[in-house]
Structure 1
Amino acid sequence: MSEKDNKVGLVGFTILTTVSMTDGIIMLPTMVAQVGSISIYSWIITTISVMILAFAFSRCGMYNRKTGGLGGYAEYVFGKSGNFLANYSYAIALLVANVGIAISVVAYTSAFLDITLPPLQAAFWASVVLVLTTVANFFGTKKTVQIGFVAMMLKVVPACIMCVLGLWYFDPAIFKAAWNPHGYTIPVSISAANSFTLWAFLGFESACSNMDRVENPTRNVPIAVILATAFIGIFSIAYTTVIQGIVPNDQLAVSNGPFGLAFATMFGPEVGHFIMALMIMGCAGALIAWQFTLGELLRSGGHEGYFPPSFDKVNKRGVPVHAMVVMMAIQIVMILFTVSPTLVKQFDVLVQLATVDNLVPYIMAMAALDVMQKSCGHNDRTTRVAAIFGALYSLYAIYSCGADAVMYGSLAVFLGFLFYGLFAGRWVVPFKPGQPNTDWIEKQ
């Protein structure tokens, strides 16, 4: 089989990129309902902004010659410390986001069983979900990939059905009543909903790291990521808007199972319970895949020397069990520190934190893009403008997450400098007499 036969074309890569952005579906209708259906303005602004970001990331993937994904991009300008900080921040974002997914599983389960869980009980069951989904990865990569695909379908299919059949039950009066329950101005509503709408797109950046798997990447990758981003934006606007015209906003904004509630309103409680069961399985399956992704990120960092070397150890099936157990323990502690009166509020807090830390490597990658293109002999103005816009939008998105999320997210990033100092000695050697007059010299 030729090398070309192993590569995917424009359509295939567009589908793969779209799939990487389907994990934000499950709780989004509840989150945007807290702002109101005026959040459609935020959807439009976020979709356009992420399309520009996606184009910039496609250029990063095109020009990159270093390993480490987002960290490799950052290394062009910020050196090894930048490589570490970008991947460390991304790992923290995944760590927090996965806790949010665990909370989603518990939220939908509580709605399915029609029970209200006290905060500590909810934290306990979310911890159980994290333990089970982590252990499920110990049996190898192949099973994880299969579970991830099935989980994606279990969530996407109900959302697609909602986009079509929901139109028959859409009530313009309900949508109008949900328009602006808090009396926000349009700029304030965009800012208030931005972290939730951006959540729907997170994951697009990872697709741009697979340039070597795509036919004619210079042409196909930018087109694919822009098309995929536009599709996710339209898809997300469609299902959230339809649900906001079916379920009264005061009910939707506090629902632990928004899709189940919407289907129950349309077709009765039995169908609603069935959809909730699908969403529970889909969300749990997605968490298995994301725990695996996080474990691999930590293993890679351990191999490079950025994280403890024990993170690089794998079992006989190639799974970094030690790294995954450590991250699971941190996640359980995180659940206890983010306990809130309701599961919706706890999910909200975690989304804001994950978004802040996820945007740090975005900014570093955008800052490095112009250097990356010049290192390959290019000097494209469109690429430079996209990078500047992407960085500015990322800064705005961090701001829109709120003071608490920015403070705690920043503290997590600053903690990374301590970790970098602790492990930097693995790739530097001390000064010796006769060497140039520097305190430390990097190993080549």
Structure 2
Amino acid sequence: MTDTTDSAHHLGWGLAALVVAGNMIGSGLYLLPATLAPTGSSSIVGWVVAAIGAVTLALVFAALGRLQPDADGLSGYAERGLGRFFAFQTALAFWTACLVGNVAIAVAATGYLGYFFPVLKTPVGAVFSCLALIWLTTGAYIVGARVAARFAALALAIGLAPIAVAVAAGVVAFDPAVFAASWSPSNAPLAQSVPASLAIIFWAFLGVESAAVLSARVKDPARDVGRATIAGVLLAAVVYIAATVAVFGVIPAGVLVQSSSPYADLIARVFGASIGGVAAACTVIKATGTLSGWVMLGGETARAAARQGFLPSGFGLGDKTPIANPLLGGAIMSVVAVISNQPTLGGQFGVLVGLTSVLSLAIYGLCAVSLFRLAGRPRDRVVAILGLAFSVAAVAAAAPGYILPTVAFFAVTSLAWLWVRKNVRVSTVPAA
């Protein structure tokens, strides 16, 4: 079992920042340039807008970490500002988002493994690959949260290698004419192209809340949650923007839209095709590391929920995470991987990403409202209002087709709350 009472096993703000950045710089980055090709190089504006929104949300979580350093994760923040009903909703929504999003990451990693083993592109092969990745990373979390965090940080360093090489290739071969010609392939104005790109881009910024979720594992939450969150978001934003400019400055949008490995193609154009396999291998490692970080977040969310009385005690005993927690999480993810299986990996990935994005944005909005109620100074209230406004706008832009299922989810959890309030006793009540 993992115990947060031993400070030697707590995370410093630097390692926590790498977990934040690693959870955001996930496997989706490696496919996004091709996905954004119809929008063109003008998608760089969308990246900037999304980065500003992500920094705003980072400030929300930094303020919450400063005001409520002893709160246990996102549900703890929601309880302090909004009460136990919204804490229950936040805990279950974020836990669900983690479990569903983890399967999406496993699907994406399987797609990259298919570069080496084409059989994994088949529905049956994909399911077995996803299950293997889920249980590999679940095992890392069982060993300990610090081991999972170090694995995620190491994978971030390895996974950034092909991106760094791609950016270098972009610097060497950048052609302003290619970048300009790809600005808007459909000739749409920015008022149309930017919202369209935001619908795809925001998936890359999920994870901004990582340090807040791990607040019980951070050495000095009042100081380090804010530092880690802002540093992680800024690192991810720099990587995203530099990589996008590099790709669109070398590969025309019409060619890019057909690519299944944009950065490998960029590297091959400048430095030769033999490096493509190395880049693909690094991508697999990064995707697995991202999955490891999110498995840890899901387990910590379930532990905090059990501590608050929202889940059975088998998910957590105070500050300790019983082995049953990751085992049950792994079992649920395995079921999701099987029942969400689609004829193509892209189809399965899209279904999982849509629900994860909207659930996460709803949680961000609740945390912003909680900050508004907890804030004692005008600056924090302004941050809360901006964070809520961005969350609402991003829901409308990111995945409007998944709003109805999300509403249904909260309706079901609202009914479940009636039973929890009546039958479940709180094991540890956080200070008001």
TM-score by structure 1 length?
0.81
Match of 2:61 in 1: 57
Q: Distance in 2 between matches of 1:215 and 1:285?
A: 24
Q: Distance in 2 between matches of 1:29 and 1:123?
A: 26
Match of 1:233 in 2: 237
The one-letter amino acid paired with 2:51 is: T
Cα distance change of structure 1 residues 231 and 306 upon mapping to structure 2, 3 Å threshold: same
Given that residues 108 and 256 in structure 1 are in contact (C-alpha distance below 8 angstroms), is that contact kept between their aligned partners in structure 2?
A: no
Given that residues 42 and 184 in structure 2 are in contact (C-alpha distance below 8 angstroms), is that contact kept between their aligned partners in structure 1?
A: yes
Aligned residue pair count: 415
Q: Distance in 1 between matches of 2:123 and 2:179?
A: 32
Q: Distance in 2 between matches of 1:290 and 1:254?
A: 30
Q: CA deviation at 1:43?
A: 0.9
Q: Distance in 1 between matches of 2:32 and 2:57?
A: 21
TM-score by structure 2 length?
0.83
Match of 1:196 in 2: 200
After superposition, what is the alpha-carbon deviation per residue over 1:191-237, rounded to whole angstroms, capped at 9, x for unaligned? 222243223332232325649745993xx876764454344323211
Q: Which runs of 5+ in 1 are unaligned?
A: 430-443
Q: Distance in 2 between matches of 1:8 and 1:322?
A: 27
Q: 1:406 aligns with which of 403, 407, 413?
A: 403
Is the deviation greater in 65-74 or in 389-398? 65-74
The one-letter amino acid paired with 1:192 is: A
Given that residues 170 and 246 in structure 1 are in contact (C-alpha distance below 8 angstroms), is that contact kept between their aligned partners in structure 2?
A: yes
Is the deviation greater in 222-231 or in 380-389? 222-231
Q: Distance in 2 between matches of 1:195 and 1:80?
A: 32
Q: CA deviation at 1:142?
A: 4.6
Cα distance change of structure 1 residues 351 and 36 upon mapping to structure 2, 3 Å threshold: farther
The residue matched to 2:336 in structure 1 has which SS? helix
Q: 2:174 aligns with which of 166, 170, 173?
A: 170
Given that residues 60 and 384 in structure 2 are in contact (C-alpha distance below 8 angstroms), is that contact kept between their aligned partners in structure 1?
A: yes
Match of 2:355 in 1: 353
After superposition, what is the alpha-carbon deviation per residue over 1:353-394, rounded to whole angstroms, capped at 9, x for unaligned? 211111122111111212212xxxx2x222212211110110
Cα distance change of structure 1 residues 15 and 104 upon mapping to structure 2, 3 Å threshold: closer
Cα distance change of structure 1 residues 421 and 247 upon mapping to structure 2, 3 Å threshold: farther
Cα distance change of structure 1 residues 113 and 39 upon mapping to structure 2, 3 Å threshold: same
Q: Does 1:416 align with 2:419?
A: no
After superposition, what is the alpha-carbon deviation per residue over 1:154-197, rounded to whole angstroms, capped at 9, x for unaligned? 11222223222322123344434433334443233222222432
Q: CA RMSD in A?
A: 3.4
Task: Name the larger-Rg structure.
Answer: 1
Match of 2:74 in 1: 70
Given that residues 357 and 410 in structure 1 are in contact (C-alpha distance below 8 angstroms), is that contact kept between their aligned partners in structure 2?
A: no
Q: CA deviation at 1:277?
A: 0.7
Q: Distance in 1 between matches of 2:115 and 2:397?
A: 30
Match of 1:301 in 2: 305
Identity %: 27
Match of 1:22 in 2: 25
After superposition, what is the alpha-carbon deviation per residue over 1:265-296, rounded to whole angstroms, capped at 9, x for unaligned? 33233200111011112211331232133123
Given that residues 75 and 90 in structure 2 are in contact (C-alpha distance below 8 angstroms), is that contact kept between their aligned partners in structure 1?
A: yes
Q: Distance in 2 between matches of 1:404 and 1:393?
A: 18
After superposition, what is the alpha-carbon deviation per residue over 1:97-136, rounded to whole angstroms, capped at 9, x for unaligned? 2111101111111134467824454344323322333244
Match of 2:129 in 1: 125
The residue matched to 1:200 in structure 2 has which SS? helix
Q: CA deviation at 1:7?
A: 9.7
Q: Distance in 1 between matches of 2:19 and 2:293?
A: 15
Q: Distance in 1 between matches of 2:167 and 2:242?
A: 6
Cα distance change of structure 1 residues 252 and 113 upon mapping to structure 2, 3 Å threshold: farther
Given that residues 49 and 393 in structure 1 are in contact (C-alpha distance below 8 angstroms), is that contact kept between their aligned partners in structure 2?
A: yes
Given that residues 51 and 229 in structure 1 are in contact (C-alpha distance below 8 angstroms), is that contact kept between their aligned partners in structure 2?
A: yes
The residue matched to 2:158 in structure 1 has which SS? helix
Q: Distance in 2 between matches of 1:102 and 1:153?
A: 19
The residue matched to 1:33 in structure 2 has which SS? coil
